[in-house]
Structure 1
Amino acid sequence: MGAVTGTTLLVYALIAVIALVVLIARFKLNPFITLVVVSVLLGFAVGMPMGDIVKSFEAGVGGTLGHIALVVGLGTMLGKMMAESGGAERIANTLIDFFGAKNVHWAMATIAFIVGLPVFFEVGFVLLVPIAFNVAKRTGTSMVLVGIPMVAGLSVVHGLIPPHPAALLAVTAYGADIGKTIMYALIVGIPTAALAGPLFAKLMDRYVKLPEVNPLADQFTEEDERVKASHELPGFGITVFTILLPVILMLIGSWADLFTTPKTFANDFLKLIGNSVMALLIAALVSFYTFGKARGFNRETILKFTNECVAPTAIITLVVGAGGGFGRILRDSGISNAIVDVATGANVSVLVLGWLVAVMIRIATGSATVAMTTAAGIVAPIAASVPGTRPELLVLTTGAGSLILSHVNDGGFWLVKEYFNMTVTQTFQTWSVCETIISVVALLLTLGLATLI
């Protein structure tokens, strides 16, 4: 624990966040370098032992990138194969034909809601972003109109709906019924996703103008000339199967105990292929056939695609990792605990307390998963001592709190910024506000539901 305590810790944390925003947005400094410098200075200012500052930062980067670097790398390869084969264009065409060009924002929110169910936000993001780029290109619309509904759909299921890992942990901590939780989460989640996604994106599209050229979008929308010449797009069925394969494998993994006896070889194997990294690896290998060999590409061409697509993600991966390092400094310096103390000191209902504690941890650490799981651990004993608390609704308010105000210490913030080619200010105006709408609307709808049932 640092030498600085209480309110002073919160002041230092606030100064650090403001410094990050100003240095990156106003002075156009490299986000990765800025995050490293500000994190080290914050650790120094709050009195962390000097030998621990860099160790803490490295642990945060390692903890974040251990998962995300693999996910972004494999997901990007899968996305590149889908783009080069024309698969992304096939899905974009089918969605536009079904929903109509005027309703593409609803199409993206719908597909994100479905794909996002079993996968972490980052996994869903890298799976769907090639489709978003293609839909935007086909309809001549902005990534604000297409991308924000996509991230809203992913975010709602990430925070509210089991079998999502964080929601599942909260269900266990509170002793909630999973079936009822899913039912209530859908009642709350669908209108929340509609409001924070398509409706909010339609409004912001008027005010936020992105650059005409997005280098990353070009990666995912340039098909091989042979595909263009032949117009032989892969079938909708095989394309959807390949892109949903990781989702299917993850669902099988999370339900392994229903199909097989725990601790047996079959059970362990299903859980292995259901791991998000393994599921994406298998899907990427399958895509080399369905989007590669079956479309007439040879091994050299597939190798070229997979090498090409990883380079643009390098800086994104570094920035996301540095955001994790900053979050770890906030935790190890005691700032996260100071924020939680403020929340638990407030005299409010258990449902609102679950939301408040998750809000504070989310703002402090940047991770929705950490916020939801930590808040559930803190609030569960308090909830158990209060009669009449509905644990299913408590899962929802805690999940809602864990999504609020994504900012510079959240990997998701930088993913959205870099892929959508936004400035820091534009990312705050769109993504951060979208997340806050989800959090507040889901809380209000859950409190409304609590009065009815």
Structure 2
Amino acid sequence: MPPETSFIYLLICLLAGISIIVLLTTKFKVPAAFALIIGCFLVGLGAHLSLTDVVNIMKEGFGNIIKSLGLIILLGTTLGILLEYTGSTSVMANYILKKLGEKRTVWGISITGFIVGLPIFCDSGYIVLSGLNKTLAKRAGISIVIMSVSLATGLYSVHCMVPPHPGSAAAAGIIGADIGKLILIGSLVAIPAMMVGNIWARYAGKNLPLPVVEEETPTDVRLHQPSVIQSFLPIVVPIVLIALKSFVTIEATPDKAWMTAILSFGDPVIALIIGILLTFFCKKSWKRAELGHLLQDSAEKAGGILVIIGAGGAFGAILAAIKIGTHLSESLALDSMGLFFPFLLTFVLKTAQGSSTVAIITAASIVLPLLQVLGLDTETGKLLCVLAMGAGSMMISHANDAYFWVIAKFSGLDMKTMLRVYSVATVLMGLTSFAMVYILSKFL
């Protein structure tokens, strides 16, 4: 990219790219994957990247997303379809509604997302819980929009703020913040963010049309439903395994056999395979033809999701290549900005390239040499700095964010609804989290 390209010009390119994606998908009903590809060329060529560079960057971005999420999405989709087919989601829904009561179902799904999201990626957590979420929505008579965004924001609140998630953990390492304190205080800061996401989902989703949630459980399965324990194990076991791996990775080196086993079985791919195997105990007998049909459906459903997510990764890679964060740090007077600068920088990076993890890691690398100028070169200042970046990495989740499309496709929500409810929720969550961090800075 030529050095004379101005920051304002790059912002115009970014806004043009985002606008064309939204316009094509909402007004002209162009499939999201093609709209994202068009956005890649518009932004890349507009920012003076060569055609060859644009294509190569798109390939790299597409491949990186598929490499990190491909098997997880395929296996998670398979797990969800098998749980629905065996009637396990119905059993779990009945159990949760009985324990919580219908009036507390929405809060229950948010809290579930928050707890599940502590040790695992929001993408993986949403995939594992999406079938249960749909069944709960149908049984409680609550809009799938409200339920999906409540679950998504519960998972997202801790994903952006709390180690062992890679973004906040890496940022703590780069900046030099205390990880133990970050886990404790980050979890506390994430609670108001989760609550705001829940409240906004209720408010924004209450007047929207109610999407139809089909119950796919066959009649013969309803007559022979699995037990509560059999139904929950395919979800609980992968979550526990992934959680154990996360905490073993933080606390110790794998110098013992049991640590090595936990690290192996706690890999999301292996954990999901174990979950799939456990679903076979949820039905008394399986026919080869029906199993083949279910696995084929899983592969086809996952394929459509992966194409969109891959295109989103390509768009994010193009936006990352034009280095908006670097231009921003060079364009503003920093001495009086304090916590606002790492928050704003991460917010711009997140909005531009889609990944909260990439945004906070990139921002940490930029902020590190600026800590003294920002007045954050103390133990407390570094902790608050990482939290401010975590808040910035929440917003804005939109068309270039893989998690955005995971939610949309697994919930059956169109892009207009996602932007109106979920994307706005991420803005409110980010602002709420930053307000909490700012308040904490006055007391710590």
TM-score range, shorter chain: over 0.9
Distance, in Å, in 2 between the alignment partners of 1:297 and 1:355 is 53
Structure 2 unaligned spans of 5+: none
Change (3 A) 1:109 1:335: same
1:332 aligns with 2:321: yes
Pick aligned residue for 1:359 from 341, 347, 353: 347
Change (3 A) 1:345 1:363: farther
**Counterpart in the other structure of 2:369:** 381
The Cα of 1:186 is off from its aligned counterpart by 2.4
Aligned residues: CA RMSD: 2.2
What are the equivalent positions in structure 2 for 1:5-404 lying under 5 Å apart? 5-6=5-6, 7-197=8-198, 199-211=199-211, 213=212, 217-218=213-214, 221-228=215-222, 230=223, 232-256=224-248, 261-262=253-254, 267-287=259-279, 289-292=280-283, 295-339=284-328, 341-342=330-331, 345-383=333-371, 386=375, 387-388=377-378, 389-404=380-395
Change (3 A) 1:32 1:226: same
The Cα of 1:263 is off from its aligned counterpart by 5.6
The Cα of 1:125 is off from its aligned counterpart by 1.1
**Counterpart in the other structure of 2:428:** 437
Task: Identify the range of structure 1 (360-369 vs 274-283) with the bigger mean alpha-carbon deviation.
Answer: 274-283
State TM-score, norm by structure 1: 0.90
* SS class of match (1:407): coil
The Cα of 1:347 is off from its aligned counterpart by 4.3
Aligned 8 A contact 2:225 2:282 in 1 = no
* SS class of match (2:38): helix
Distance, in Å, in 1 between the alignment partners of 2:105 and 2:258 is 42
Change (3 A) 1:191 1:90: same
Aligned 8 A contact 1:122 1:412 in 2 = yes
Change (3 A) 1:79 1:423: closer
State TM-score, norm by structure 2: 0.92
Equivalent pairs: percent with the same residue? Answer: 28
> Per-residue displacement from partner, 1:204-225 (whole Å, max 9, x unpaired)?
12232244x3xxx53xx31132
* SS class of match (1:393): helix
Aligned 8 A contact 1:242 1:290 in 2 = no
Distance, in Å, in 1 between the alignment partners of 2:120 and 2:249 is 18
The Cα of 1:264 is off from its aligned counterpart by 6.0
Aligned 8 A contact 1:3 1:48 in 2 = no
* SS class of match (2:399): coil
Distance, in Å, in 2 between the alignment partners of 1:83 and 1:22 is 35
The Cα of 1:345 is off from its aligned counterpart by 4.2
Distance, in Å, in 2 between the alignment partners of 1:191 and 1:258 is 26
Aligned 8 A contact 1:363 1:405 in 2 = yes
Aligned 8 A contact 1:9 1:338 in 2 = no
> Per-residue displacement from partner, 1:375-396 (whole Å, max 9, x unpaired)?
1222233236744443332222
The Cα of 1:64 is off from its aligned counterpart by 0.8
The Cα of 1:267 is off from its aligned counterpart by 4.3
Distance, in Å, in 2 between the alignment partners of 1:148 and 1:370 is 23
Change (3 A) 1:4 1:306: farther
Task: Identify the range of structure 1 (162-171 vs 403-412) with the bigger mean alpha-carbon deviation.
Answer: 162-171
The Cα of 1:450 is off from its aligned counterpart by 1.9
Question: Which residue identity lines up with residue 365 of structure 1 in the other structure?
Answer: Q
Q: How many residues align?
A: 440
